[in-house]
Amino acid sequence: MSLFTESLYFGQVVIGPPGSGKTIYCRGMQEFLSHLGRKVVVVNLDPANEGLPYPCAVDISELVTLDDVMDGLKLGPNGGLIYSMEYLEANLDWLESKLKHHHDCYFLFDCPGQVELYTHHNSVKNIFAQLSKWNFRLTAVHLVDSHYCADPAKFISVLCTSLSTMLHVELPHVNVLSKMDLIEQYGKLAFSLDFYTEVLDLTYLVEHLSLDPFFKKFHHLNVKLAEVIQDYSLVSFVPLNVQDKESMTQVLRTVDKANGYCFGDQEERNLQAMMSAAVGADFQFSTTLSVQEKYMEATGKTVEDEVMDV
């Protein structure tokens, strides 16, 4: 009989491509939740993670590490990560024995960054399914670097990857555009921020992409990809700046709504106190929410004007 039979356990599985900010997100969310009074533990499921910046309650490196797999089996990084996840799947009793020591906690699972693990391979999907059988109510938080918004071709690719991940992982899903505090460094966006977060009519994006002579010959392919994304009508994004309390609150509330977590009155009071104290603190208050306005002010255009320019 499973060790998890009496209570529900809530948490997040943090996934996304390498460099999308998963580990930084886990550290920031752990600190944020701790200030709210939520007892939280972080579980590192990435065998390639070294020098973790957060206190780690369960670490897969005690079971398997990527370096050992690559050296012992003469595999590359991708093959090593796949083997490591298959090894964890075959030793779920180890994971169960580690998790059982943390009762009444909220869990953050820091996962590997190899995209294929969430779009084609089944081991991670099976691990998540087993966690669900152990009464874990999890939300998949899929981080995507916001710099992809500055390149229409890459953004369409990100949309396809996000959709494939949502369909394959089979968990309540929240897509997040990370590093919003750095988005202005990546260049001018072709459209307003809402266009990317809400994934509005992709026809405009395809037409904008066809202005590039290189991508013009792929116009028909891009049209079909856009149709697939819009036919499912599943992909949207929540903007995130881990230094912005409003942004973190928005992400947390979206995640809690997705997995059914209901916080108590004390946590709500802590959240209100934290937000009221944010003005004048060292957080970049409202930075994320002002990105769109900055673009509009710089160009002197409205959203409709930008669409008409295409």
What the block records as the tokens of 267 is: 């946590």
**What pLDDT score was predicted for residue 274?**
73
Q: What is the DSSP letter of 138?
A: E
Percent of the chain clearing pLDDT 70 (strictly above): 86
| CB of 141 closer than 8 Å to CB of 118 | no
Q: For position 71, what pLDDT does the model report?
A: 95
Q: What residue ranges do the domains of the chain occupy?
A: 9-183+237-262
Among the ranges given (74-78, 88-92, 283-287), the one the predictor scored with the smallest mean pLDDT: 283-287
Cβ atoms of 250 and 257 within 8 Å: the answer is: no
Give the three-class secondary structure for 90: helix
H-run or E-run covering 308: helix 303-309
* Local confidence band at 43 (pLDDT 50, 70, 90 cut-offs): very high
Least confident of 65-69, 174-178, 182-186: 182-186
Helix (H, G, I), strand (E, B) or coil at 142: strand
Q: What is the pTM of this model?
A: 0.83
Write down the CATH number for the domain with range 9-183+237-262: 3.40.50.300
**Distance between terminal CA atoms of the chain?**
60
Residues 143 and 25: beta-carbon distance below 8 Å: yes
Ordered DSSP codes for 99-121: HTT--S-EEEEE----THHHHT-
